[in-house]
Amino acid sequence: MSLAELERKFGRRLARVTTNVVVARPRLWRLFRWSTRAQFDRLAPSWDSMRRPQAFAALEVALDAVPAAPKRVLDLGTGTGLAAFIAARRFPTAEVTGVDLADAMVEQARRNAPPELAERLRFQQADAVELPFESGSFDLVQLANMIPFFDELARVTAPGGHVVFSFSAGPETPIWVPPERLRRALGEHGVADFADFEAEGGTALLARKVRGV
């Protein structure tokens, strides 16, 4: 195995361990923030070449099921921005904000932004545990292959708004949270009305914020 392959394998393991620990104990995120940021800053230049063409198929199917077109969309852990572009295309009147911890990802997302969408797209660096947005700022919050921080994602979702979680390779995705775990945590945060989706080996969960907590 080459050094690059070894590094990739280690990175995937680290992402899974980080996800498991942080979902169980969100306060421990501070122990992983630095390594996660460094990992994704390093991966940013090659991230787009590492992805399967159908990586967002499950996300797209879940977005099809969102009943009313959102006006304000947040893509948490946006990486190089592809899921944000998908949302902007799907909802042609929506303003889409992509947030990422890693500066290099945010810079790459800005460079990747298609000119015809640029007016409705905004990318900024922020940590998903402490988002720089008012409560209820977004009608749709989506996470593609991203560690969920339930307090904050529920806070910034407007009452009646939707959240979508997608995992490009289902349970094989390094950052993966079992659907029953997602449902339990979301339920504790006033998010319910769950719907599951599968496409091209990926999985997604759509849910609605039914009450404030």
Ligand X SMILES: C[S@@+](CC[C@H](N)C(=O)[O-])C[C@H]1O[C@@H](n2cnc3c(N)ncnc32)[C@H](O)[C@@H]1O
| Binders in 35-64 for ligand X, by CB under 6 A | 36, 40
Choices 2-10, 124-132, 176-184, 191-199; region in contact with ligand X by CB under 6 A: 124-132
Q: Tell whether residue 152 is a contact of ligand X (CB under 6 A).
A: no
Stretch that binds ligand X, among 2-10, 127-135, 177-185, 191-199 (CB under 6 A): 127-135
Q: Which of 182, 185, 174 is nearest to 204 (CA)?
A: 182
The CA distance from 64 to 102, in Å, is 29
Q: Which is nearer to ligand X, 30 or 211 (CB)?
A: 30
* Look-up of token digits 């995937």: 12
Residue range at the interface with ligand X (CB under 6 A); choices 63-71, 101-109, 133-141, 153-161: 101-109
Residue 72 per-residue DSSP state: E
Sheet containing 72-76, strands listed edge to edge, beginning at the edge strand earlier in sequence: 121-125, 95-100, 72-76, 138-144, 157-167, 202-209, 191-199
Note whether 145 binds ligand X by CB under 6 A: yes
- Whether residue 70 contacts residue 162, with contact meaning beta carbons closer than 8 Å, is answered with yes
Q: Measured at CB, which residue is nearest to ligand X? A: 79
Among 19, 78, 108, 157, binds ligand X (CB under 6 A): 78
Q: Closest Cα to residue 152, out of 171, 166, 135?
A: 135
**Residue 69 CB, nearest distance to ligand X (Å)?**
21
Of 66, 73, 96, 105, the one binding ligand X by CB under 6 A = 105
CB 62 within 8 A of CB 187: no
- Of the ranges 65-73, 139-147, 157-165, 179-187, which one interacts with ligand X (CB under 6 A)? 139-147
- When binding is defined by CB under 6 A, the residue of 127, 136, 169, 194 that contacts ligand X is 127
CB atoms inside a 10 Å sphere around CB 192:
13
Which among 86, 79, 128, 83 is positioned nearest to 105, based on CA atoms? 79
Q: Which of 57, 61, 66, 82 binds ligand X (CB under 6 A)?
A: 82
The residue among 56 and 91 lying less far from ligand X, judged by its C-beta, is 56
Q: Among 89-97, 112-120, 145-153, 178-186, which window interacts with ligand X (CB under 6 A)? A: 145-153
Helical residues (DSSP H) of 25-81, grouped into ranges: 29-43, 47-50, 57-64
- Summarize as ranges the residues that interact with ligand X (CB under 6 A): 36, 40, 77-79, 82-83, 99-102, 105, 127-129, 144-147, 175
